[in-house]
A and B are shown apart, each in its own frame.
Chain A
């Protein structure tokens, strides 16, 4: 009895300490949110006002969303690019994953090795040739170009292959004995079985694409094509000292991610733990 009480007490103490520590991780976000509601004069008032004295939320967000850098436009761009990239990437990767795990052909092993080996190439080491290529084939400064750039993921193929390998070969064989070709076996037998895996990858790919800063920075030029992270940065350099506006923009940039994360939390955490993957 005594031991159990002690254990509970210990657990409570650790929980309290960890709560205090977690503040370090949440406080910057709270500060960001609170600041986005303030008038500019009160941003740096010290001691920090955790509840704004004068609420300026409507004006701040209105300026961010419909001002000189209209965020509604960049939201739409980011949404379009993220959804399209996720769809194409899931299709390409699950097809390849099936081919590399469930179709027995001699070249398969080698091709998989080649694909996997390219994972070693740091994206930034090939930026310049990609840039030159894009300028020459007319994909520079277009959303299509960005979507294509994000659609061939070695990581996605590798992850989904792990899932497909978990599908018993007997299912595939019996589908084929029933006269189905590989495509039917893929579509109506294997794919439904790995749906959780595809969902996990889809959520991760969406988050990574939404957050991507580097590719839009290099492959987009026109203002109205900007994605959220890029717009966020341009907005910051333009608004200079208007920190309440900048924070309203930051809140706007983070909120959709939070929603996706909270909805797909289990998938995200599992996916990251499973593949030990990193965007």
Chain B
């Protein structure tokens, strides 16, 4: 067993931390305040290869792995959770399923553009009546000649307003239940496809979360991802990877809140001494630090198993469950440690607290993660 970082990982952390500190952090408050998608940051990340970390060089990727990708999402989220989820949704939910389930033609067509960041990716599964019960899909796809015709809508789609390509689930054969769901690669300018209303959210406010609308949307037959009826399986496998990404995001948020809190309790003086000198502060921080480190081990292990093509579905669920709940606890306590200042936008911890909440909800709520873990346990 080896818990040390490789030289390559150390070098990667050096780069991504510097990038996060200098390029991402200065925009974080503004992106949140103005609900602005940080397109300029995406362009900078694209240039460095951050939009295609775990994919092979032959498809335009950086030739890295999921451990590096997870570190990237963590470090970006440490300073700006919006930026973290943009990368996570793009990589795990769009590029990844194309890489894992796509034909050679599909990979050659889409991956270089996605990996280079020329195109941004998104993923459409959730519908107004299909949330945790993702099998209740109402979006329909009917094959007519050489096109599928899609009708319906998807909601809460991260990156939606700025994406160029979407992985979309739709029912091709309702009688088959979940086995009647198929996955499609939809491009932004396909006829009949449009972006609906933008959500006003509590946190990760820059991530451009919108509705996707399909009105007789024509999708070429060759844009079917996988075989007809494999959509649900593809969605579930994709979410295994996505959860590892969101777990990394939650971990980053927790670490960011811890960084701010450590700085603050060393400086803030009450009753004549720094509040970090009170044992109440110390014990609470020690517990939180332990949880963050435990979350980090879970996250890294999930990524490490994915890299080795080992089953990691339950690992990913555990990592997301624990990291998300740790992020929520850490950020809530961070606000408490900051007192009145923490409740104002002068300090970033209130933003982190708002950002943290979503990690317990999207890509499977904490309850769904418990279902996945229990299912693996009791099978």
A is bound by B: no
